Amino acid sequence: MNHATILMLRTMLGVLMLGTLGAQLLTPVVANEIATATPEVSHLVVPYSIAGILGIACAQVVLVVMWRMLGLVADDTIFSSHASHALRLVDVVVGAFAAGTLLTGVVATTMLVVPNAASPAELLATLGVGAVGVALVLLMIVMRGLLAAAARDRAELAEVV
């Protein structure tokens, strides 16, 4: 991968990380404003703020891992002796996506159980995010298998050559 592409990707990852940090800071503020506008859900400000901040933290973990994996790609070592390290990094991404999906499931459950916790549209949006989370977990499991196979194939080719 050429240097310009790596630089652009790292710039985007940095911008996304700054955006997520800003979102984490604004989450309690926005939640408090919603509670002021709709007092019947004010008891959910703290738990939903915590859930929002933790969900964003899951995304931040993925961004950090992507940065590290990009370094392996830049050094052309992702399929070499560092393949086991890359596989562990993919495991971290799977774990972060799974944690975020589980968190979304907990929020959706409270939306169903707690009266007036959410409108039907908000519940559907949350369920949609959960479905995307499940799809991402499954996709990353497949990608991990492809990475492992590619690393094995490269090692086999190195022995032949």
The percent of residues in the chain predicted with pLDDT above 70, rounded, is 98
Q: Please state the domain extents for the chain.
A: 3-160
pLDDT band at residue 156 using 50, 70 and 90 as cut-offs: confident
pLDDT band at residue 63 using 50, 70 and 90 as cut-offs: very high
SS3 content of the chain, % helix, strand, coil (to 5): 90, 0, 10
* pTM over 0.85, yes/no: yes
pLDDT at 160 over 90: no
Dihedral (CA of 43, 45, 30, 41) sign: negative
Averaged pLDDT for residues 77-105: 91
pLDDT value for 26: 97
Q: 71, 65 in Cβ contact below 8 A? A: no
Q: How far apart are CA 121 and CA 111, in angstroms?
A: 11
* Other Cβ atoms closer than 10 A to 49: 18
Q: What is the pLDDT of residues 132-154, one digit of tens each?
A: 999 999 999 999 999 988 888 87
Q: 49, 28 in Cβ contact below 8 A? A: yes
